[in-house]
Structure 1
Amino acid sequence: MSPDFIGAFMIGLVGAGHCMGMCGGIASLLSMGAPNNKPSSSIPLFYNFGRLSSYALIGAIVGGAISGLSELSGLTQSLAWLRFVAAIFMILVALYIAKWWQGLLVVEKAGQYIWKFISPAGKHLLPLKHPTHAFPFGFIWGWLPCGLVYSALTWSAVSGSALNGGLIMLAFGLGTLPSMLAVGYGASHFQKLQKSLIFRNISALILISYGMYTAAGAMRMLGFI
């Protein structure tokens, strides 16, 4: 398995406490919007399946577009530079997860403009008439501006193909899945674990180590070391 897939999965897994904060309210909306006000146990599954599908799609688009442009221009070295940027972004995400630096909030705000045009489509799906309607709702909400998503997308950008780009974002989504299912099913103990100071700090150190390793590899590709 490619280290990039593992890295993307780790970003999702250790950063999912942030996802719970952003999407916990959405889980409540789904419960209130359930058919006959009786929440179905399948609603969180359909919602997250839709969310992961949107991640995979945007990852495939970004990965395919960047690799295509790189081949057309002949600037394959640009992928090494992008890989270096992706490594730096991972380190910044680690600082954000540990709450040592909150600069990613600025990046999230940059996506709010586009989100204003997308979010109404999701709201029109409420109340849910059937549990399966949570799938398109999750697909739309997968485009919610999020620094963690943007970080994972930088890895899709340097993946070299649309397939790898989609798989990297899918790996990221799978990493977030335990937390998001915990929100949907009310697993408070798991949520408390991911919000704990020790968990956040250990997770941040793991991501920083991987980011530094990747940055060093990119610098070797560029001939700097």
Structure 2
Amino acid sequence: MIEFSLLAALLAGLLGGVHCVGMCGGIVAAFSFRADGTHPPFRMHLAYNLGRVSSYVLFGALAGALGATFKLAGVMPVQLLLYVLAQVVMILLGLYLAGFNQWVRVFERAGGAVWRVVRPLFQKLLPVKSLPQAVLAGMAWGWLPCGLVYSVLVSALAAGSATSGAALMLAFGLGTLPNLLGMGLFARQIQPFMQRLWVRRAAGLMVAGFGVWGLLMLAYSTFANA
């Protein structure tokens, strides 16, 4: 099922752009203009996002390693529970993106304490003047308490190994690139489109569909092996 999980994570990142506009819009705006009002070159935006995705991969590796402890201990019911939990979280995430609930904000509030520690370090890196500084700023950006990121991390926890968890979060991070790079380069043109109700509903329901399909795959596998 790892191929399905990677695809789901990739598309969750891509379709989650409706959430990224609100969550990361201010940070992207800070990155999109220099002190003199000019736009930074494209390679700077790539560096920001390289740092951000690197943080996601680290989170995924740590979550996957934690999940692997259950695998090594042979705790099969817990592994199964983690998989089911990951699919349920994906469904709830999709409903959140579609505007039908606000449950993801629980994750965001929980991560707020960490961000309050990281934010002063992040602010010291502004304004960004070099590529290494941009990568560091992007890594700090990755610690933003984003419910979308934390939701996908549940799937990384269920991945069963540090490598699989890192790969899953890498897939998610790559999925977010078109939206966040696009926001950095064409923020004024993209934001109105991403905030349209039908766009939010379509993206959210597709993400929820991944969770439903994951549960159906589990049910079919269980039935077939019975």
TM score, norm. by length of structure 2? 0.89
Note if contact 1:81-1:218 (Cα within 8 Å) is conserved in structure 2. Answer: no
Note if contact 2:32-2:185 (Cα within 8 Å) is conserved in structure 1. Answer: no
Q: Which residue of 1 aligns with 2:135?
A: 135
Q: Is 1:64 aligned with 2:65?
A: yes
CA distance in 2 between partners of 1:21 and 1:70 (Å): 36
Note if contact 1:43-1:132 (Cα within 8 Å) is conserved in structure 2. Answer: no
CA distance in 1 between partners of 2:190 and 2:39 (Å): 21
Note if contact 2:21-2:194 (Cα within 8 Å) is conserved in structure 1. Answer: no
Equivalent positions of 1:18-97 (< 5 A) are 18-32=19-33, 34=34, 38-41=38-41, 42-67=43-68, 69-97=69-97
Q: Is 1:184 aligned with 2:203?
A: no
Q: CA deviation at 1:214?
A: 1.4
Q: Which residue of 1 aligns with 2:125?
A: 125
Count the aligned residue pairs. Answer: 222
Note if contact 2:71-2:79 (Cα within 8 Å) is conserved in structure 1. Answer: no
CA distance in 1 between partners of 2:97 and 2:118 (Å): 27
After superposition, the Cα gap between the structure-2 partners of 1:211 and 1:204, relative to the gap in structure 1 and judged at 3 Å, is same
CA distance in 1 between partners of 2:152 and 2:128 (Å): 30
Q: In the TM superposition, what whole-angstrom CA distance separates every residue of 1:100-155 from its partner, at most 9, and x where no partner exists? A: 11121122111101111111111111122224411110111101111100111011
CA distance in 2 between partners of 1:177 and 1:19 (Å): 11
Note if contact 2:112-2:145 (Cα within 8 Å) is conserved in structure 1. Answer: yes
Equivalent positions of 1:91-170 (< 5 A) are 91-170=91-170
Q: Which residue of 1 aligns with 2:12?
A: 11
Q: CA RMSD in A?
A: 2.1
**Which residues of structure 1 form unaligned runs of 5+?**
none
Q: Which moved more, 1:128-137 or 1:177-186?
A: 128-137
Q: Which residue of 1 aligns with 2:172?
A: 172
Q: In the TM superposition, what whole-angstrom CA distance separates every residue of 1:155-177 from its partner, at most 9, and x where no partner exists? A: 11111211111111011111111
CA distance in 2 between partners of 1:38 and 1:97 (Å): 33
CA distance in 2 between partners of 1:92 and 1:162 (Å): 25
TM score, norm. by length of structure 1? 0.90
